[in-house]
């Protein structure tokens, strides 16, 4: 317990050291209240002092991340060290997705400039140190297949390669151009299984995503993955959709296999 008589700042610094020694890198304001008899104002000043010395980072008010020596230059450890604790603190279901999930699965064609997380509700971006966490909303998040991935400090929830592929075409703004999405899909294809992709597609029920994904898999030559999706499209006979839903599609050519209006040229690197 932190005692006011010894000095709040010193005791708080000792508390942070104990956390790090035990392999724990996050704490919250309620944790401090349980540890300390100091006033709220004294704790606030001590926290500010530690933050100014880059001993802690503050991704969200009331949630603190211990910054080990090797990360003080960038202001915070990588998001995988604390994302699970942060989302639990925010009481928000989540999974690491899109380009960040693709990178976890070995699809490193395009290294994301931000850590991308899919959440059950809208959240503001998090700026922590030199890093940025960007949130995307999926209100049917419970339908997405995820896996627990070990991190330096515990674990985090990450969308499977198949679910990641479907999300990438559902959130094209996460990667920029569809050519970038296609390049990531080409890498992801090595880890995806046709049966799992077909099952994930059926569970999602997102026919527009299935059509767009199938088109892009054709473009990167992932025939074994595209064929189960093509069977699903033939079975469901969905309406025509634009390849990029956020752009005009009038007058563009239609891919009859996928019922997709091709309103963005997709350049695929050899």
The 10s digit of each residue's pLDDT in 99-110 is 999 999 999 766
Question: Average pLDDT, stretch 77-97?
Answer: 98
Q: How far apart are CA 52 and CA 186, in angstroms?
A: 44
pLDDT at 111: 67
The Cα diameter of the chain in Å comes to: 76
Q: How far apart are CA 157 and CA 138, in angstroms?
A: 14
Angle formed by the axes of helices 207-219 and 178-188, nearest 10°: 80
- What secondary structure does DSSP assign to 116-171, as a single string? EEEESS----EEETTEEEEEEE-TTGGGS-EEEEE-SSSEEEEE-HHHHHHHHHH-
pLDDT at 8: 64
The 10s digit of each residue's pLDDT in 162-173 is 999 999 999 988
Q: Are 160 and 147 in contact (CB under 8 A)?
A: yes
Mean pLDDT of the chain: 92
Q: Which residue matches tokens 């919250």?
A: 28
Report the SS3 class of residue 37: coil
* Sheet arrangement for strand 131-137: 126-128, 131-137, 115-119, 94-96, 155-159, 146-150
pLDDT at 268: 75
Under DSSP, the state recorded for 26 is: E
pLDDT at 38: 76
The 10s digit of each residue's pLDDT in 150-202 is 999 999 999 999 999 999 999 988 877 888 899 999 999 999 999 999 999 99
Percent share of the chain, pLDDT over 70: 94
The 10s digit of each residue's pLDDT in 60-79 is 999 999 999 999 999 999 99
**pTM for the full model?**
0.91
Segments in the chain forming alpha helices (H): 8-21, 29-35, 40-52, 83-90, 98-104, 161-170, 178-188, 194-204, 207-219, 223-236
pLDDT at 267: 81
pLDDT at 110: 63
Q: Which of 195, 118, 202, 125 is nearest to 164 (CA)?
A: 118
Question: Average pLDDT, stretch 225-246?
Answer: 95
- Taken in order of first residue, the domains within the chain and their CATH numbers are 4-71 (1.10.10), 79-261 (no CATH)
Question: Average pLDDT, stretch 257-264?
Answer: 95
| Residue 66 β-bridge partners | 56
pLDDT at 240: 96
């Amino acid at each position: 317990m932190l005692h006011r008589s010894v000095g709040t700042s010193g005791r708080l610094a000792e508390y942070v050291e104990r956390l790090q020694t035990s392999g724990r890198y996050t704490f919250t304001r309620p944790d401090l209240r349980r540890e300390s008899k100091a006033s709220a104002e004294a704790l606030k000043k001590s926290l500010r002092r530690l933050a100014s010395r880059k001993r802690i980072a503050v991704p969200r008010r009331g949630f603190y991340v211990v910054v080990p020596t090797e990360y003080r230059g960038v202001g915070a450890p990588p998001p995988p060290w604390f994302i699970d604790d942060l989302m639990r603190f925010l009481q928000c279901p989540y999974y690491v997705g899109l380009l960040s999930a693709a990178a976890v699965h070995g699809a490193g064609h395009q290294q994301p400039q931000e850590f991308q997380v899919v959440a059950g509700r809208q959240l503001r971006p998090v700026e922590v140190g030199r890093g940025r966490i960007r949130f995307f909303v999926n209100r049917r998040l419970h339908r997405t297949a995820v896996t627990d991935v070990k991190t330096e400090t515990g674990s985090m929830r990450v969308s499977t390669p198949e679910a990641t592929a479907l999300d990438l075409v559902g959130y094209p703004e996460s990667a920029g151009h569809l050519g970038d999405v296609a390049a990531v899909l080409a890498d992801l294809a090595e880890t995806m299984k046709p049966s799992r992709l077909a099952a994930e597609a059926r569970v999602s029920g997102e026919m527009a995503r299935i059509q767009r994904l199938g088109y892009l898999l054709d473009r990167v030559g992932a025939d074994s993955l595209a064929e189960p999706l093509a069977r699903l499209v033939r079975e469901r006979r969905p309406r025509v959709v634009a390849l990029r839903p956020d752009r005009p599609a009038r007058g563009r050519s239609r891919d009859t296999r996928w019922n997709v209006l091709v309103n963005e040229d997709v350049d695929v690197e050899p």
